[in-house]
């Protein structure tokens, strides 16, 4: 079974006024990872989702929608 996961990473990042580079540094990943996440081309592991949510000062459930 395939899942379509939507996210609100870009919206939350822009709300906080941080760049993709800054988010990548805070989450401990490369900027390309953030680009792929924002474009929906990559579904993160639970650890990565937690790191991104924490860097964006929110919770995983508020960033990702599983359809």
Q: What is residue 64's three-state secondary structure?
A: strand
Q: Does domain 9-66 have CATH number 1.10.260.40?
A: yes
pLDDT tens for 27-40 read 999 999 999 999 98
> pTM here?
0.89
> For all residues of the chain together, what is the average pLDDT?
93
Domain coordinates of the chain in residue numbers?
Answer: 9-66
């Amino acid at each position: 079974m395939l899942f379509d996961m939507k996210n609100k990473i870009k919206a939350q990042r822009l709300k906080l006024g941080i760049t993709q580079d800054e988010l990548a540094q805070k989450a401990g990943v490369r900027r390309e990872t953030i680009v792929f996440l924002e474009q929906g081309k990559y579904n993160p592991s639970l650890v990565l989702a937690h790191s991104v949510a924490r860097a964006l000062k929110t919770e995983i459930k508020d960033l990702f929608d599983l359809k």
